[in-house]
Structure 1
């Protein structure tokens, strides 16, 4: 009985050993590590209208400071502060009494001068008739002539004094020199106004200017591009100027360049340029910071890549490129302007090269990956910004 138990134990151990050996012999080989999957896109060439953006400041096409030219007490202000004013509208009235009295006095002086002249002319005429008969001497005739000339000059002087008094009197009423929007009044009724006292300001809102500065580097590039445009019979006024307002919305009207400075500022290295916009709705006011979106009048081919593919380190901007073996390569690129969600490549890439746009955190140069093509959305002209 004991021998039977020992035999069973030996048999069980033999079966266990065989099973274990069989299991070890049939174990599958370790699987190869899976390649990381990344989303790739292709650098592609599109026909674009080059754009550039630059910050500018709005400026009134006319900006007038209303000042007094005489001394006197302010009697009346005739405008509503902040209103739109038409050229020739009455703005202020200064007490005219002093200037009316001065004008009356000068008119009286003029009448005296005219009377003296008339008497001198009559005496001269009488002397001229008597001289041939020897009734008066030549010396007496000379005195009559001198008197006539002197009194005539006195009339001219008195007339000038009257005109000056009339001019001073006219200054008691201050009129708008241009059409525009008036500021708040800087003087109040009853104030004593002195010459050159600032009373208000008036700005012309139509058209509106936008002044900006172009850096030296961009200036040279712009001149080179414009030279090419000239060959295609394109004028400077053909450059389309659009505005992005401070709230991010686009201004409805299109402007044009109407002034380019004649020298570069040595201190800032920039050239002053100005654009004009109609501003029919008077939406823009002077002093706003706006973004000018400048569109080239000619189209050209450009190599574009998604902005999502671009990274930056101490060496500059770079992208991850896949070679024919799906191996990752780091590529330094020089980029130009943005067009919608894409970036223009100036150097570092060629048309048709594959670049990684998603999964960048999982890869490094030299690594082999499993690329998945991203669906390409065609570039649309109206997406440029």
Structure 2
């Protein structure tokens, strides 16, 4: 019995060994690695117009607060709130009664002063004729002369008081100092107005200013470009300024830079710049946030690549480039402005380099790939 069990055990071991050998003999051959397919594009040069965009805020070229120069009761408002008005239009009238009375009083004083001066002049003339004959003393003549001069000064003083009273009376009517759009009235009929009272304000909408900030880094770059372009006669006024309104549409008029600050703000690291735009139809109002598009007056031949090809890690921005053997290489790049769906390359690539735009997640440097060319869509200036 024991011998029979050992024989059965050996038999099973032989069967298992045979099956194992058979299994090894029938194992399929290892498959070759599949080469991934990727979509590639070619870095290409095109003529472009360099542009930069800045966020700005519109500001009225003139913004005047209307305040009275005298105190009194407001009798009348002579404009329609929110209207466009012209310089010199009557806006408000203040009760003139007190100022008319003061004017009349000073006019009466002036008449007295004129009469006193006339009498003093006649006495002086009489004394001048009597002095040679010794009819009056030199001391009396001096007194007559003093009286004439004093009364003449009194007339001048009285005339000045009348002019001041007339000026105060004129302040009872408040006129528009500039043309523009006026606000709602901040005072009501019957209010007692003082020189501290704010009555309304007027904003001048033509032209319209746009204030924006330029970062110090961009400022230095722009200055270097200007200094290097010695063969190009270009001034800051030649830059074409366009506006994108809050609803995304472009403003009809182009503008120009008319002010550049004289120092960089130490807190923000920016330089204040202002552009001026015609605003004949008063479409723009003060306080709007707009996008200022600054265009260069010259075109440049720039190297462009699709934005989809650009990646970024701790080393910076990079793209995956294929060599002549269709092997993947990582290439660090320095990029400039964006133009439509493409990015300008400042360094790191050359014209004709093949770059991967799709399938980036399944490749790594050194890997061989199957490239599929992507059709290049030419950049249009209107795409930006």
Q: In 1, Cα distance between the equivalents of 2:264 and 2:28?
A: 77
- Give the equivalent residue in structure 1 for 2:96: 96
1:243 and 2:243 equivalent? yes
Query: Which stretch has the larger CA shift, 86-95 or 327-336?
Result: 327-336
Partner of 2:43: 43
Mapped to 2, the partners of 1:184 and 1:191 lie a distance apart of 16
RMSD: 1.8
Task: State the alpha-carbon separation in 2 of the partners of residues 230 and 99 from structure 1.
Answer: 67
**Distance in 1 between the 2:279 and 2:231 partners?**
32
Q: Deviations over 1:214-263 (max 9, x none)?
A: 11111111112223456422222111001111111111110001111122
| Counterparts of 2:101 and 2:310, CA distance in 1 | 81
1:54/1:292 contact within 8 Å kept: yes
Q: Which residue in the other structure is 2:334 paired with?
A: 334
Q: How does 1:177-192 map to 2 (within 5 A)?
A: 177-192=177-192
For structure 1, the 5+ residue unaligned runs are 1-20
Q: Does 1:254 align with 2:285?
A: no
Shift of 1:281: 1.2
Cα distance in 1 for residues equivalent to 2:104 and 2:79: 30
Partner SS, residue 93 of structure 1: strand
Question: What SS class does the counterpart of residue 178 from structure 1 fall into?
Answer: coil
* Partner of residue 368, structure 1: 368
2:200 and 2:314 map into 1 onto residues whose CA distance is: 55
Cα 1:231–1:104 shift into 2, 3 Å: farther
2:310 aligned with 1:310, yes or no? Answer: yes
Moved more, 227-236 or 173-182: 227-236
Partner residue in 2 for 1:123: 123
Moved over 3 A (4+): 27-34, 228-231
* Count of residue pairs the alignment pairs up: 361
Distance in 2, matches of 1:337 and 1:202, equals: 40
Q: Which residue of 1 aligns with 2:59?
A: 59
Aligned to 1:322: 322
Tell me the SS of whatever aligns to 2:34: coil
Deviation at 1:381, TM superposition (A): 3.1
Residue 174 of structure 1 corresponds to which residue in structure 2?
A: 174
Structure 2 match to 1:275:
275
Distance 2:314 2:185 in 1: 57
Aligned counterparts of 2:120 and 2:131: Cα–Cα separation in 1: 16
2:19 aligns with: none
- Separation (CA, whole Å) in 1 of partners of 2:197 and 2:144: 50
Take 2:74 and 2:225, find their aligned partners in 1: how far apart are those partners? Answer: 58
